[in-house]
Amino acid sequence: MARGRRPGHQDTRESVLTAAREVFADKGYDGASVRAIAAAAGVDPSLIHHYFGTKEQLFLAAMQAPINPAELIPRILTGDREHMGERLVRTLLHVWDSPAGGAAAAMVRSAVTNDMMARMLREFVVKRLIRRVLADVVSDPAEAATRGTLVASQIAGLIMIRYLIRVEPLASAPPEEIVAMVAPTIQRYLVGDLTA
């Protein structure tokens, strides 16, 4: 690449992120390709890989995601299967009780009122993150999808009541109290008998 002919690194980064937001909004997470984003930004796809890594990492950067799921998922999967629900709830509360929680709340708020953000949340968080956890513990993919949405339902509601609407006493309860109360629900949704 000829120096002086291209914008600076910072400008390139910004134009890729802008293009990414547009293409993700237009095509959804699944439908957007790094190639299409590169074309929209007028750069080579290899440049995107160089700056951002995978499509997932590009997506997280474009959404200004406060949390990197790649760091969190191993915390849930590492350890015995009997305490997976417990680790999931503990990790969730740890992130949301941290300063990153405020930015995460803003993302969820906009997903509830904005179709584009809802689609992103649906495709990315539910399909990718939760199913990635489930792929490790459930063999039947159809069952994994059902279990994934059940886990998502309890997590979404916990976030809504504790962090968004802030209803007491759940809003101020110590994390470990919530872990004890909610983990059995998550554990059953993950690996338990769903019809009992």
The site for a copy of itself (CB under 8 A) is made up of: 108-109, 111-113, 118, 121-122, 126, 142, 145-146, 149-150, 152-158, 160-162, 164-170, 173, 180-182, 184-185, 188-189, 194-196
Q: Which long-range contacts (CB under 8 A, 24 or more apart) does 103-112 make?
A: 103/64, 103/65, 103/66, 104/66, 104/67, 105/159, 105/163, 105/164, 107/63, 107/65, 107/66, 108/156, 108/159, 108/160, 108/164, 109/164
> Shortest gap between Cβ of 154 and a copy of itself (angstroms)?
5
Residue 54: other Cβ atoms inside 10 A: 12
Q: Based on CB atoms, which residue is closest to a copy of itself, 46 or 180?
A: 180
Helix (H, G, I), strand (E, B) or coil at 136: coil
> Shortest gap between Cβ of 57 and a copy of itself (angstroms)?
23
Residue of 195, 196, 8, 183 whose CA lies nearest to 82: 183
Q: Based on CB atoms, which residue is closest to a copy of itself, 19 or 121?
A: 121
Q: Based on CB atoms, which residue is closest to a copy of itself, 103 or 167?
A: 167
Q: Based on CB atoms, which residue is closest to a copy of itself, 17 or 159?
A: 159
Q: Based on CB atoms, which residue is closest to a copy of itself, 88 or 155?
A: 155
Cis amide linkage into residue 141, ω under 30° from 0: no
Residue 40: burial class (beta carbons within 10 Å; 0-12, 13-18, 19+): middle
> Shortest gap between Cβ of 7 and a copy of itself (angstroms)?
36
- Are the beta carbons of 62 and 20 closer than 8 angstroms? yes
> Shortest gap between Cβ of 37 and a copy of itself (angstroms)?
24
Residue 169: other Cβ atoms inside 10 A: 7
> Shortest gap between Cβ of 146 and a copy of itself (angstroms)?
5
Q: Based on CB atoms, which residue is closest to a copy of itself, 47 or 107?
A: 107
> Shortest gap between Cβ of 149 and a copy of itself (angstroms)?
4
